[in-house]
Amino acid sequence: MSDETLEQALSFEQAMEKLEEIVERLESSDVPLETAIELFQEGMKLSHLCGGKLEQVERKIEALLDGGPELRTEPFASAGEDRGETL
């Protein structure tokens, strides 16, 4: 199974867990440069995967909100944006 196929098979939660493990490993241990670069690349792929999955969910929510006559689509705001914070 290729890296791309494996990444597509991961759920959002699985991808986030793997990403958190990579971040912990990069932050807490003395990783050789080559390994750190490989981990960083894998982390970037997982980050893009998670972002894509979040966009898909956002589109589904907007479609559901737009589905009824009394419902309307509103822009999706993160928890920090709701409080006027920037992330």
Please indicate, yes or no, if residue 20 is contained in any of the structural domains. yes
Q: Would you say residue 87 lies in a domain? A: no
Quote the Cα angle for 80-85-87, to 5°: 65
pLDDT digits (tens, 9 = 90+) for 61-78: 988 888 765 656 677 776
DSSP 20-86: HHHHHHHHHS---HHHHHHHHHHHHHHHHHHHHHHHHHHHHHHHHHTSSTT--------HHHHTT--
pTM, 2 dp: 0.66
pLDDT given for residue 50 in this prediction: 94
Range of the structural domain that residue 46 is part of: 3-82
The string of pLDDT tens digits covering residues 17-53 is 999 999 999 998 789 999 999 999 999 999 999 999 9
Q: What is the domain-level CATH number for residue 78?
A: 1.10.287
Task: Answer yes or no: is 7 within a domain.
Answer: yes
Q: Is residue 27 part of a domain?
A: yes
How many domains does the chain contain in total? 1
